[in-house]
Structure formats: C-alpha cells, structure tokens
Amino acid sequence: MNTFLLPDLGEGLTEAEIVRWLVAEGDVVAVDQAVVEVETAKSVIELPSPYAGRVCTLHGAEGQTLDVGKPLFSVEPAPVAAEPAPAAAETEPSSAAAEAYREEEKAGSGNVLVGYGTASSAGSGRRRKPRTAATTPKAAPGRAARVISPLVRKLARDGGVDVTGIDATGPDGLVLRADVMRALAKPPASSPETRIPLTGFRKAVSAALTRSRTEIPEATVWVDVDATELWNIRESVRPGPGILAYLARFTIEALKRYPVLNSSLDTERQEIVQHDRINLGLAAQTPRGLLVPTVAGAGSMSVTGLDEAIRKVTEDAREGRPIDQSGTFTLNNYGGFNVDGSAAIINHPQVAILGFGRIIDRPWVVDGQIVPRKITQMSFVFDHRVCDGGTAAGFMRAVADAIENPLAAMVRW
C-alpha cells in the first residue's frame, strides 16, 4: 500500500484544508490523476496521485484541515480497469462552455501540480476526465444548468447557496461565478442570517491581522496633499505611467532617507532588522480577498519600471496566479474604493504602511487665494516601537513634498 502525504506546498505553508475529494474509496486511479482539491492560505490546488491502483483510504473529510506531512490518501497497487465510455450527456462540454470553465478557473485557481493546469497547454496530449455536472431547473429551455468549475461550486457551498436555484447565464446552461455572486447578494428567503466558514485563506488573513493588532503598538498620522502638479504631469504623458507608479517612486526615495521604516522587528533578540532591499508590497483587492503582491527590488526601479511591475503583480494576484507576498513595506491605494482615508493595519512583520485616498477637487489656498486643486489624503501607520513621531512625520513630509513639487523631486533622482 502506498500512502500519499500532504506535500510541502511552498512559501512557508504548514497546512491545507480539504475542499473536495474527486475520488471515493474503492475507485481505481492512474498516475497523475487528480484526486483531491485542497485550499491553502495562497490558493486552491488540485493534487494528483503519484501512484496507480485502487484508493483504499481517504485520510480526511471535506472541510478538515491537515498539516503538511500528514497522510492524505492511500492507494493499493492494482490493475487499472478500463472505464466504460461516458454517455453522450457526460462527454466533454461544448467549446464555449469549456472556454468559460477555463476563464472561471484562471480567475482564481492558483497553483497546479503535475500536469494539471487552468487551461489546456499546447501539445500536452493529456485530457482531463470530465466531471459530473450539476443541474438546475432554471437553465435555458431544453438544457440543464451545470457547475463545472470547482471554485464556483465551493463558492456556492461556502455561501450556503443551492445551485439548483441559480439562474445560469453561461453557455450551455453553465453556472458562472457571477451567477453565484448574484445569488449571495440576495437576502435569505427565510433565515435571518448566513454563516460563511473561514476557509484556509481567510483563516490565514485573520491570523495575520489579529497578530498585527495584538503585537504592534501602532500610531497613525495623516496629511492632506496638493497633488495638482503631479496630476498634470500624469495627464501630459498619457498613456505613460499611472499615478500609483509616481507615488511608489516617491515612497521609495523617502524610505532611503528613513531606512528604519523598511525593516522588521526581531522581538526575541530585541533588534530592529533593517532590510538592504526595498521590496514594495501593494495592497490589492482580489476575488479571494486582500492580497499584498510584492515588487521585488523596487528600490532600483524607474517610474516606468515600477508601473510595469505594479500592473503585473496586481494582475497576477487578481487572476489567482502564484505571487510573492514577502514585501518589506506596503503601499495602499484605497482611493480606488472612492474613500478619502483609512487607518490601515500594518502587514506583519513589516513596521509601517502608507496609504492614499482618492484625488478630488477641493478648495485650497494658493498665494492667499482660494482655488480648486487636486487634493488627496495621505495616512501613515507605523510601529511605535521602531520609531517616534518625528521620524514618521519626516517620512510623511518627504513623500508629500515630492507629490506637491514632483519636477523638483525627479531632478534629485
């Protein structure tokens, strides 16, 4: 008997939650056949079997969390029997439905292992076994609605949504993520509350934020900044780098002047660890929740380079592709949510986070006259164990002065 242990999935992950078994005890599996879906703090992953034979034991139930190195499933060597030909209704979905499925998967499937991808790869020659489709009476006439994507199925299950009552809008009656989200937005018909379990990802986020609030004595300072000149520069170079790239560059220059803010705190040795590289984290809202993808080596990048890198890492985060989240300082653009300010939570083990609100027209005094200007609110949250208000204020003014006089700042680079 061969026992497959939950593998080390990288990036310091120590556990995973069983989302769905794709086989049952007694089933015959082939090498590289997907057996189980698990969710880590980073992504949802299909794990294939490295063994051929008959599944004799599943060592966990759906919804159970296992530690890395613990038994996941056991396979007893046995001849692989030929499978009966699937009925016509169970064959591969139409090309339109398959394409919709791949788009659903690409939107958040995350890592894949041993030949299992979110989209078919040219020349692989491997075909995935089609999964049984769920049906719903609300599909188009003559067609049954189907849930092909495991992520959509899990979203419905976690939200307590019955897929048989969902209006399917995908091709061939396919239930899409948007269909489930619409159903989740509707108030419950009878129950006054909805219980949504914390998945592996949400549990990891919850633990990190709780640790930050528990361990870090944080302080917040903020200032309104006149971004009119920066706005004008951005408009004059369209379609060049976006505002966020300039803000990132100004932040990097300020961190070079105040390197203690680009550090972490070793509480065991009572030491501040200043990092020799600036790896800039960007807070990004994704379908899976808040992620902080990192632009590694941001300290040596130009505005154009930062713009390209920021767009890439944030797109990777939103599309569910693997990302690096080991930043040394975090920049938060909550203005994208059309709000002015936020007292953000520091991304432990970092010691500070800088945020910007929306840029809007406000009355501003210039040379004794009240005129309309492009104003944004900048807020800075820092670990008071690492520095005092003077350092925080100096850093804030370094960024604010660069925003208000961008040409002068860029000349000094």
Residues tagged active-site: 384
Q: Which residues pair with 381 in a beta bridge?
A: 220, 353
User: Which of the 8 DSSP states describes residue 164?
Assistant: G
Instruction: Kindly state the tokens that stand for 307.
Output: 């713009």
Q: Which of 290, 284, 287 is nearest to 313 (CA)?
A: 284
Q: Using an 8 Å Cβ cutoff, are 293 and 326 in contact? A: no
User: Which of the 8 DSSP states describes residue 218?
Assistant: E
Q: Exposed (0-12), middle (13-18) or buried (19+): which is 93, by Cβ within 10 Å?
A: buried
Q: Which of 349, 263, 374 is nearest to 12 (CA)?
A: 349
Cα distance between residue 17 and residue 41, in whole Å = 9
Q: Which helix (H) or strand (E) holds 408?
A: helix 406-411
Cα distance between residue 223 and residue 385, in whole Å = 22
